[in-house]
Amino acid sequence: MNSSQTMRAVVLEAPGPVEALQVRNLPLPEPEPGWVRIRVKAFGINRSELHTRLGFAGDSVTYPRVLGIEATGVVDLAPSGEFEPGQQVMTMMGGMGRTFDGGYAEYTCVPAGQVIPFHSDLDWATLGAVPEMLQTAYGSLTVGVGIEPGQSLLIRGGTSSVGMAAAVLAKRSGLRVLATTRSAAKAETLEAIGVDDVLIDAGDVAAQVRRLLPEGVDGAIELIGTPTLPDTLRSTRVHGTVCFTGMLSNVWTVEEFYPIDYLPTGVRLTAYAGEADDLPADVLQGFLDDVAAGRAVVPIDTTYDLDRIREAHQRMEESTTSGKLVVVV
């Protein structure tokens, strides 16, 4: 328990530039029955929080608001007894950072149903990078694309945290992985996590894919957004699947959508947006165990402390990262 009954948190009073993020002292939140208070040890930075800061989150957000759609830490208080104090847990989504205060804080309160327990000796920075990144990558592969061992996968936006996590999971599943980056200097980063073919993205990735795989890839994960989606669709074989998952471009709608003209014949387009219950506890634990054993990696770009939250957001907004930005509390 925090003896002062206060905590430090990052507060957004209203949408705005990076200066709108303020580190302040707030009262320690009290969990309602069926909720859990978590002592946050680390949290990942996500573009969802950038969208909220810039005012793109819609009318569901009220201000002031503590941002953060995920958090990793230990149970501090569970009044209904679902978890024991000290249990290592992760949480994500479910309205965090939008309809109620999120993970950019020393403590956060969330519904017990979106809390995932785990056991690990990995450092908190590594653990803090995992929840939303793994949930999104795993769901995109299994639900969105439905990829099978031995098939090929294109990741459009390969140096994003989700893109790198998807590459790690795909290689563990025996896939041939193609991943894009706009910067040739980042090719080595992708190769280091097992990417088979690094494609420099100047707009026409489909031509590069077809030179390697004339019929196209079996599946693709679109993380850039609608500006690159048509080219990603052209990179995919007949009966292949493209999963629309991310919007790194901050553009996520298609104006005057005419399906017959927009979609290549026989190519399937799906989407993925998951919640905490879309990441099974055994999948999380298995991934953490593989990381501890050296069989998988967690792609982290930079680790910050709470007082450097503006710097972290600025780097995310500039899209200069390769991997996850993590704040250790």
Q: pLDDT tens digit string along 179-219? A: 999 999 999 999 999 999 999 999 899 999 999 999 999 99
What are the residues whose beta carbons fall under 8 Å from the beta carbon of 214, sequence distance 6 or more? none
pLDDT at residue 127, as a whole number: 98
User: Nearest CA to 225 among 144, 157, 135?
Assistant: 157
Asked if 277 and 110 touch (Cβ cutoff 8 Å), the reply is: no
Per-residue pLDDT averaged across 262-285, rounded?
96
Per-residue pLDDT averaged across 69-93, rounded?
97
pLDDT at residue 252, as a whole number: 79
Asked if 160 and 129 touch (Cβ cutoff 8 Å), the reply is: no
For residue 258, CA distances in Å to 249, 261, 264 come to: 22, 6, 12
Per-residue pLDDT averaged across 64-81, rounded?
97
CB count in 10 Å sphere of residue 55: 12
Give Dmax (Cα) for the chain. Answer: 64
Query: Residue 2 pLDDT > 70, yes or no?
Result: no
pLDDT band at 250 (very low <50, low <70, confident <90, very high): confident
pLDDT at residue 152, as a whole number: 98
Query: Residue 3 pLDDT > 60, yes or no?
Result: no
Task: Give me the helices (H) in the chain, please.
Answer: 47-53, 124-128, 131-139, 161-172, 187-192, 205-212, 229-234, 259-262, 281-292, 309-318
What count of Cα atoms within 13 Å lies in the side-chain half-sphere of residue 7?
25
- For helices 161-172 and 131-139, angle between their N-to-C axes, nearest 10 degrees: 60
Per-residue pLDDT averaged across 88-117, rounded?
97
For residue 44, CA distances in Å to 68, 156, 308, 318, 322 come to: 8, 21, 13, 17, 14
Q: pLDDT tens digit string along 136-155? A: 999 999 999 999 999 999 99
Task: Return d(Cα 147, Cα 141) in angstroms, integer.
Answer: 6
Per-residue pLDDT averaged across 251-268, rounded?
93
Q: pLDDT tens digit string along 103-125? A: 999 999 999 999 999 999 999 99
Q: pLDDT tens digit string along 17-60? A: 999 999 999 999 999 999 999 999 999 999 999 999 999 887 78
Asked if 8 and 28 touch (Cβ cutoff 8 Å), the reply is: no
**Concatenated DSSP letters for 17-62?**
SGGGEEEEEEEPP-PPTTEEEEEEEEEE--HHHHHHHTT-SGGG--
pLDDT at residue 1, as a whole number: 43
User: Nearest CA to 38 among 98, 95, 103?
Assistant: 103
CB count in 10 Å sphere of residue 58: 9
Q: At which residue do the structure tokens 């069926």 appear?
A: 34
pLDDT at residue 4, as a whole number: 62
pLDDT at residue 248, as a whole number: 86
Using DSSP's 3-state secondary structure scheme, residue 233 falls into: helix
For the chain, what is the mean pLDDT? 95
Using DSSP's 3-state secondary structure scheme, residue 285 falls into: helix
Torsion (CA) 117, 122, 126, 127 in degrees, nearest 10: 10
Query: Which of these ranges, 60-69, 113-122, 244-253, has the smallest mean pLDDT?
Result: 244-253
